[in-house]
Structures are given as C-alpha cells and as structure tokens.
Structure 1
C-alpha cells in the first residue's frame, strides 16, 4: 500500500482505540522502553502527542528517560509551516508551551539546538514497515530534519501496531528508524 492509503487506514485505527485500551497500550510501550539500554544518550528530541490524533503518550517515555538519565537535555520541535522545516528547542521546568493552528504543542521559548548535537529522537509515526521506514503525516518535516543529524543518532518510533511488510512508495529522502517500540516487542532495523 502507498503512504496515503496507509495514512488513512492507520489514522482511523488509532482513533478507534478506546481511551482505556490506549492507557494500557501506553503502559506496555513504556515497559518495552524500560528494557532498552540508553548508553551514551545525553540529549533527546521528543514531541508533544497530538490528542485528537490518538498518538502514544510520549510524556511517559520522556519522563522515564528524565528519571533514568542524569542531566538529560530534552528538546521539542518547533515547526515552520511556510518552509516545511523544524527546529529543536531545549526545554526546562519553566518552559511555556503554545499550541499552533495545526494542534501541535510547542515551546514558546528556548535555545535552538543544532541537530548534530542530538543523540536520540522520538519520531512520530502512524505505522512503519519491516525495514524501519515510516508513514508520518505527509509533510516531510522529520525526514528533512533527520537528514541534518549525525549518522549515529538513534531514531525511535512508538506504534500501537506491528510493522507492515513494506511501504510501496518510499523514496530516497525517507530516513528509516533504528527502532520501533510496539506493545509486544522492540523492532531493530
């Protein structure tokens, strides 16, 4: 199937998950994450889950890492919808957030961090394939950003669904994940 077909199907599948089931699935994702060894990770780019898209609760995952990795620096993306680009802004306990017209919550202020200084990126996705390629929301923000990161950056996605066999229309600009965490296991690509 194409990205557009998969996007339609998996958006709806995710929205069809009850809130009670979603809580359980998020806990299972966290349990899988807790088996991962985060050696050498000092910086994390995460994202604020969009509530009306049924995204996994990344706050659970970044909160766990904040507790486990002493001195972890956490960033959130800030999107530029005119140029279809994004930047990573460093946050702290005093950060104030705003929700843009697309429903994405972003930090209002914060130091912009060079992508080459990021060790781990939580990459949003609807579904991924068995090679680690993902279907996102179709604007290419993350692929353009990830292209600026170091070759050894760890790219991790969270999905309520197991990987599919293949995405029919991936292209040379698509950047695969290193890991996809599902409620049942961690896939390494």
Structure 2
C-alpha cells in the first residue's frame, strides 16, 4: 500500500480505540520495551510527548519511569520548522502549543545527538522497519544527525501486516518495533 493509504487506514484504526484500550495497549508496549531493552540510570533516551487528539501511544508512562530511574530524557520540539532536542526533568515546565501539543516552554536545544534510544512516533511500520509518520520528515532528519549506535525504536498499537510500496531513498528505517504483543528487530547480526 502507499504511505497515504496506510496513513489514513491506521489513523482511523487508532481513532477507533477507546481511551481505556489505548492506555492498556500503551502499558503493554511500555512493559515490552522495558523487558527487552532494560534501560538503566545514566542512559539517554529521546522520546516523543504524545499528541492526545491523535490517540498516540501514552509515552508519559515511559517518561515518568525514565525520570524515576535517573535515565536522561530528551523530547522533541519544533522551532522554526526544525526539530530540536530538549532535555527535561521532573520540574520542567510544559505548555500546550497552537496545535494542541504539550511541549517544554524552553526553546534551548540540548545539542545532544548520542542517545541510547530514540522512541519514535509513527502511524504504521512494516516488517522491514519502514515507517509511516505524519509526512513532515522530522524524524528522518533526526535519524541522519544522531549517533549510528542509537537504537531507533518505533512504538505502535498494531502489528505490521501491510507492506509500504513507496519507500523513498531518504527514508531511514527503524531498528526495532515495539507492539503490545512483541518486539520486532530489523537489525541484522548480533546486537
């Protein structure tokens, strides 16, 4: 299927989930992530803040856990059409922007590029790690500028059943996909 078709299909599937269903699935995704990757104190994780109106994975569960375990947390913020990485703490002030997205008040880019994990928003991911996002390319740009050691991890409510027919040359695939039922690896060889 084409990205535009997949974007529409999986946006509708996501919107059909009740708040309770989405939260339960998010908890399962979180537990699968923790069990598989076992993040620990001192590591650096880049994680998106969920857009509630899009019924995204509730990554606040991840953020709260990471902060409680002394794992350094970075979140994205779009400033002048560029994604910057802001380190957050338990007392970081957030505000809701014009699109209804909660983001840090600060516009100070951390300059960090050596993350252990980048937890990536998406609408869909196929069995080769190709993803369909919202079509703005922010994460492809982020992926080009981070350490090659960083694990690029997608999180999704749904298993990868459809293939993406219009993968572009500049699309950067994920290394892993975490769903409520499994963790799929797209990296070859040993970790």
**TM-score, length-scaled by structure 2:** 0.89
Aligned position for 1:147: 144
d(CA) in 2 for partners of 1:148, 1:73: 19
Contact 1:115 1:145 in 2 (8 A): no
Alignment of 1:85-104 (within 5 A): 85-104=82-101
**TM-score, length-scaled by structure 1:** 0.90
Please report how far the alpha carbon of residue 126 of structure 1 lies from its aligned counterpart in structure 2 after TM superposition: 0.6
Structure 2: which 5+ runs fail to align? 187-191
Change (3 A) 1:165 1:13: closer
2:133 maps to which of 120, 132, 136 = 136
How many pairs align?
185
Q: Deviations over 1:146-166 (max 9, x none)?
A: 110011111111111001342
Q: Which runs of 4+ in 1 moved over 6 A?
A: none
Aligned position for 2:63: 62
Q: State yes or no: 1:74 paired with 2:110.
A: no
d(CA) in 2 for partners of 1:33, 1:73: 16
Contact 1:85 1:145 in 2 (8 A): no
Contact 2:44 2:117 in 1 (8 A): yes
Q: Deviations over 1:23-51 (max 9, x none)?
A: 22122112212212346761111111111
1:188 maps to which of 181, 185, 190 = 185
Q: Secondary structure at the match of 2:26?
A: helix
Please report how far the alpha carbon of residue 95 of structure 1 lies from its aligned counterpart in structure 2 after TM superposition: 1.2
Q: For the aligned residues, what is the CA RMSD?
A: 1.8
Q: Deviations over 1:64-88 (max 9, x none)?
A: 23334xx3211111103x5x32000
Aligned position for 2:10: 10
Change (3 A) 1:165 1:5: closer
Structure 1: which 5+ runs fail to align? none
